[in-house]
Amino acid sequence: MSNIPRRSSARTAKLASIPLGIAGRAAVGFGRRIAGGDRKAIDSELNAKAAEQLFAVLGELKGGAMKLGQALSVMEAAIPAEFAEPYRESLNKLQAEAPPLPAKDVHRMLDRQLGTKWRERFSSFDDEPAASASIGQVHRAVWADGRPVAVKVQYPGADEALRADLKTLGRFAGLFGSVMPGVDVRPVIDEFTARTEEELDYRIEANNQRRFAKVFEGDPQFAIPHIVASAPKVVVSEWMTGTPLKNIIASGTPEQRNVAGALLAEFHFASPARVGLLHCDPHPGNFMLMDDGRLGVIDFGAAAPFPDGLPPILGTMVRLAVREEFDELTELLHDHGFVLPGRTVTDQEIADYLRPFTDPIHTESFHFTRAWLQRIAGVATDMSGQQFRTARALNLPAEYLMIFRVLLGSVGICAQLDAYAPYMGILTWWMPGFADPETDSITR
């Protein structure tokens, strides 16, 4: 049987151990500080232990828990420096590692999904997983025609686990703020819940990937592997070899960082216009830099339809903010539900709200850094005084939540890469509503 805890009570108990552990260590740390211990050293130790426990539990549970951990990992660069280091190692580990599913369970799933003669469809199959995803793991194999392929097998019970996790995590959402300051978890969980069923059916993922692969066939910037076979809980695609973004984040050259950052930003803005779909799982484990300079993209389980490209209102918002045309911008935000009824916001509050997208377009090439992201995240999430009132007034309508999460995730990875990227040119070309309606350009 699978090693995933499938009973709701067992999974809830594991998730509950996170806040209980944090509370217990906080009490011990408080006592040590009273006794004269070094505050900085004690806090550092507590943060490291909290990070280790948080991501060990999320990784072990897989399902919605691991999916949340991967989403949190994207915004690691926004965590204040004093908290960041212990989380960085745990987060990066979670993106690619988790306890593997035993080979006998993998074979049983392949029997059910591809038929009991599935071995005849492969020249070879490696029982050791090459990577772990949130609800499945990937094996290397060779298809009967000689093509190297990636075989993603869904964990038995992943459907039950995912639904149970998302329900439980919703109850614990507020507690994650003490572990990862500046990260609002609840909207992410709400969105995951809404898209759960799509991600559990690998046939939907395969169809999404087919659409991307067809559009980007022969593209000089992006590489998408073709689908070879698919079933509800197994998908086989061509194997892709490149340098994972997590490796470039850790030790890439400045040129690699800049190329990867620019391509990543362009991919997320260009794909809705070119494919009619937005790739909604932005974390470094899903991207790699190919030897020929293209950005390789995998994992299309989460993709949202945008047949007409991104909504023009978003580009208009950014354009008005850059030009400081706040009267028109404020009216636009009220009309489209970005400000709660009966509330008011100042020009500065709106400007701070949009800084992740407006800061990078003040120059032709913008330097995405951890320090910059931490600074703007601190302004956006300061819950004291005036900023608390602002947070209660500004709203992110449900229809825009996923877009903001994906684009912010892309920005977060660019900051981890410490990359320079031509964000102004990318937005001008790909974001509807951003260019001046009269001159077709953004001017200041």
Segment holding 72, helix H or strand E: helix 63-74
Nearest-angstrom CA–CA distance, 310 and 303: 13
List, for residues 377-402, the tens digit of each pLDDT value: 765 444 343 443 445 577 778 788 78
pLDDT for 126 equals 97
Q: Which distant-in-sequence residues (6+ apart) come within 8 Å of 43 by Cβ?
A: 29, 82
pLDDT for 207 equals 97
Q: In what order do the strands lie in the sheet with 287-289?
A: 222-223, 295-297, 287-289, 243-244
pLDDT for 156 equals 87
Torsion of the alpha carbons at 188, 94, 137 and 146, rounded to the nearest 10: 120
pLDDT for 369 equals 94
pLDDT for 216 equals 98
Choice between 167 and 351, residue whose per-residue pLDDT is larger: 351
pLDDT for 31 equals 39
- Which residues belong to CATH 3.30.200.20 in the chain? 103-158+197-238
Choice between 74 and 398, residue whose per-residue pLDDT is larger: 398
Mean pLDDT (whole number) for 261-283: 95
**How does strand 148-154 pair with strand 234-238?**
antiparallel
Torsion of the alpha carbons at 332, 336, 340 and 341, rounded to the nearest 10: 90
Site of tokens 């500065």: 348
Q: How many CB atoms lie within 10 A of CB 132?
A: 22
Using a pLDDT cut of 90, give the percent of the chain over it.
48
pLDDT for 1 equals 38
Topology of domain 103-158+197-238, CATH? Phosphorylase Kinase; domain 1 (3.30.200)
178 pLDDT above the threshold of 90: no
First to last CA, the chain: 62
Q: How many helices (H) and strands (E) does the chain have?
A: 19, 13
pTM over the 0.85 mark? no
Torsion of the alpha carbons at 435, 436, 441 and 444, rounded to the nearest 10: -110
Least confident of 25-39, 93-107, 225-239, 353-367: 25-39
Mean pLDDT (whole number) for 170-189: 57
The distance from CA 179 to its chain's CA centroid, rounded to whole angstroms, is: 18
Out of 154-163, 197-206, 431-440, the most confident range is 197-206
**Of the candidates 188, 258, 227, 206, which has an alpha carbon nearest to the alpha carbon of residue 398?**
188
